[in-house]
Amino acid sequence: GFEKLNKLLSTSVYGGNTVKKTIASILSSLLIAFHGSFAGSVLISWDIPTGSTATGTSAGTVTAVTGLSGTQITLGSGLTATAATSSSGWGGENFSGWTAVKTLTDALAAGDFFEWSVSVATGYSLSLDGIGTLGMFRSASGAGNTNNSIGLYYSIGGSAYTLAGQGPSGTTGVTTTAGVGTSLTGLGSSWATTPLSVGEGQSITFRLAAFQGNTNATGGTLRFGGTAANNVDLSLTGFLTALNAPYAWNGGAGTWAVGTGGWDNGNWVNGKEANVSGGTLTVGAGGVTAGAVNVSGSTNTLINGTGFNAAGISKSGASTLELANNSANSFTNGISVTAGTLKTGVSGVLNGSLTMSAGTTLDLGATTNSAGNVSFTDTTVNGGGTLNGSSFAVAVTSGTNIVSASFGGSGANFSKTGSGELVLAGDNQFSGTLTVNGGVLSTSGNERIHNSVVLAPGTGATIRLGGNESVGALSSAATSSSIDIGANNLTIGYNTASNSFSGNLTGTGIVTKVGTGIQSFGTNNTWTGGFVLKDGNVRIIGNGALDTNNQMQTHALGKGTLTLEGGAIQSSSAGTDLNTTTGRSLYNSVNLNGGFTSGAAGEVGRIAISTNAGGSTILSKNSTLNTVGNLQWYQAIDGSAFTITKTGVA
């Protein structure tokens, strides 16, 4: 047979292929190797000595088998390879001594075949994609037919035998010629497109049988080999997958797991692509650099040890990938999860962008992790941990998605799309703009949004508060947008920039304006809890009522009481006369609790406190009315114990 190799070729991880792993030494007379999914790489090889023969009588009884050794070898790597024992040899009855034409059924029934099997251990799966080498040599000695056929049958897990490759069952196979070596590799040609799959704990048994012809009647032999002096090994190609085995990645020496038990003694080269179908991966103290890491399959994978650098991680399959490194990782192209679950076992293991497809799950546990741009589509987020990001894009296409974890990131914008509802129930600390471009975004509990965030619902979208909230400002040009404060209190103004809201504020709670910025309101607001102006400016967008005798059902500051404790109210109207369409009337009852400023420098639009809605004014303390712009007060003022001081130029 082939010369016994002391070591197979150096192995590595090939881009786009599964892991190639090798056993470095020959165990007895058998070789085994793991390989990528490309054809032609040896998975299992029997090295059969030249002198191995099986002989029998004319009645088909085996009398002797010589030259075979290692009839059953356990490799410790997921496979057990078995040949027949010396008592039954490798078959041989049909290969010498039969004088009648036999069908394949006859051969199998009579035990006239060579037989070998491969067993797959628990925790592994086997896929065979071809026959690497398989040759038979039939001696020319003795009389008999010289063109008998050979067929290869297999049985997986005790199932019925199936003919492999060439020749339909019971009719034809590969023809052998006396004195000439015959290749039988074509018997496995169909496996290239439809591999044979053997599950964990199963065995596959092969039987090579002669039929459709007389064999040598006077002692000629059929054996493995291309010539009488040089047998050809029997080998099978495919790949073995460790479903839940430990691996180790070591850095510093340029290879992963060299000289250790990791990767089943396989050598991994830094910078190459790694493909993993499950198991525990331990990164050595030196760290490691990978081209890319692809995790697939239905078996969970744990990555621990020190950190590693990679172009990115791609996660597919219904399994869980857990990152539990004790130092930071670096992923240039980030992490992409198309199926299954990504779990952060410890804090600080994420890096780069994080993209999660529909139906996936992110399990943060109690950890705190940071990523770049974050994109979720119908993604379930478990745990109460924190995910920081540069930006967040979350799509909820239907139903309700409740997130108890917290999203953070200084200046990070948060965008919600889709017709479903996203509920933020964590202590969120992202501080950019919260944009809702579809459906509903709700909060659950008090202060779930950072106080510098600008709430920005888009066309037809709603932001719904589930508790008291303090935010930077309100912003929307869409009159069909809405912010429902419910019975909760909303404080705005912590963002000092100017913002304008043309949507509808609804609910029964109180809205309070603080801060030095300008908050503009349109005419659609219908909340009834009241508006408190403490600081900064409130601008009324557009034109309001014509005069005190013609109420227009427009409400810039809602329908509740307007409490004036400071700040300024100004109109964006250009005119100075309330009897034209350029002024602005307010129909709220008023609580003067310190006063306010009417108008702003450079703006001439008047403000009128109207009686048309039945409003009245209560003077709760000494107050100052600073009339920078024209102010008309039509309501009666009740509060004789206090005084009003008028200042300003108008």
pLDDT digits (tens, 9 = 90+) for 28-38: 222 222 222 22
Q: What is the mean pLDDT of residues 391-412?
A: 98
Residue 384, pLDDT above cutoff 80: yes
Q: For 359-381, what is each residue's pLDDT tens digit?
A: 999 999 999 999 999 999 999 99
Within 13 A of 560's CA, how many CA atoms are on the CB side?
19
Q: For 324-334, what is each residue's pLDDT tens digit?
A: 887 778 888 89
Structure tokens belonging to residue 400:
């309700």
Supply the pLDDT for residue 267: 37
Supply the pLDDT for residue 114: 65
SS3 185: helix
> Higher confidence at residue 233 or residue 405?
405
Structure tokens belonging to residue 238:
């495919």
Within 13 A of 422's CA, how many CA atoms are on the CB side?
33
**Which phi-psi region, left, alpha or beta, contains residue 99 (left: φ > 0; alpha: ψ -120 to 50)?**
alpha
Structure tokens belonging to residue 595:
């006063």
> Higher confidence at residue 519 or residue 55?
519
Residue 634, pLDDT above cutoff 60: yes
DSSP per-residue codes, 310-333: ES-EEE-SSSEEEEEESS--EETT
Q: What is the mean pLDDT of residues 456-467?
A: 98
Within 13 A of 264's CA, how many CA atoms are on the CB side?
26
SS3 482: strand
CB 343 within 8 A of CB 319: no
pLDDT bracket for residue 545 (50, 70, 90): very low
The most confident of the ranges 94-108, 171-185, 506-520 is 506-520
SS3 334: coil
Place of tokens 């059953």: 72
Counting beta carbons within 10 angstroms of the beta carbon of residue 250, is it exposed (0 to 12), middle (13 to 18) or buried (19 or more)? buried
Q: Which residues pair with 450 in a beta bridge?
A: none
> Higher confidence at residue 105 or residue 552?
105
Supply the pLDDT for residue 110: 57
Structure tokens belonging to residue 20:
């190639």
**Using CA atoms, how far apart are residues 487 and 484, in angstroms rounded to an integer?**
9
Q: What is the mean pLDDT of residues 94-107?
A: 47
Q: Name 159's Cβ contacts closer than 8 Å, sequence gap at least 6.
A: none
Provide the mean pLDDT of the chain.
72
Q: What is the mean pLDDT of residues 613-633?
A: 88
pLDDT bracket for residue 204 (50, 70, 90): confident
Within 13 A of 86's CA, how many CA atoms are on the CB side?
8
Supply the pLDDT for residue 18: 24
**Using CA atoms, how far apart are residues 401 and 386, in angstroms rounded to an integer?**
17
pLDDT bracket for residue 119 (50, 70, 90): confident
**Lowest model confidence (mean pLDDT) among 94-98, 414-418, 590-594:** 94-98
pTM of the model: 0.65
Instruction: Give me the percent of the chain exceeding a pLDDT of 70.
Output: 60
**Using CA atoms, how far apart are residues 39 and 101, in angstroms rounded to an integer?**
36
**Lowest model confidence (mean pLDDT) among 434-438, 573-577, 610-614:** 573-577
Residue 414, pLDDT above cutoff 90: yes
Taking CA atoms, 60 is separated from 55, 100, 225, in Å, by 9, 12, 22
Supply the pLDDT for residue 52: 43
Name the nearest CA neighbour of 410 among 431, 392, 426, 428.
431
The most confident of the ranges 386-390, 592-596, 608-612 is 386-390
**Using CA atoms, how far apart are residues 174 and 91, in angstroms rounded to an integer?**
18
The C-alpha angle 325, 326, 331, rounded to 5 degrees, equals 50
CB 329 within 8 A of CB 349: yes
pLDDT bracket for residue 177 (50, 70, 90): low
Q: For 227-272, what is each residue's pLDDT tens digit?
A: 333 333 567 777 766 665 555 554 443 334 333 333 333 334 455 5
Q: What is the mean pLDDT of residues 192-212?
A: 79
CB 342 within 8 A of CB 374: no
DSSP per-residue codes, 343-397: EESSTT---S-EEE-TT-EEE-TT-EEE-SEEEEES-EEESS-EEE-SEEEEE--
pLDDT bracket for residue 165 (50, 70, 90): low
Q: For 467-478, what is each residue's pLDDT tens digit?
A: 999 999 999 999
Task: Please tell me what DSSP assigns to residue 22.
Answer: B
Task: Please tell me what DSSP assigns to residue 555.
Answer: B
Q: How many residues does the chain have?
A: 650
Supply the pLDDT for residue 39: 31
Distance from CA of residue 444 to its chain's centroid? 27
Supply the pLDDT for residue 574: 53
The most confident of the ranges 55-59, 318-322, 603-607 is 318-322
pLDDT bracket for residue 66 (50, 70, 90): very low
**Lowest model confidence (mean pLDDT) among 32-36, 527-531, 583-587:** 32-36
**Lowest model confidence (mean pLDDT) among 73-77, 217-221, 281-285:** 73-77
Q: For 331-360, what is each residue's pLDDT tens digit?
A: 888 999 999 999 999 999 999 999 999 999
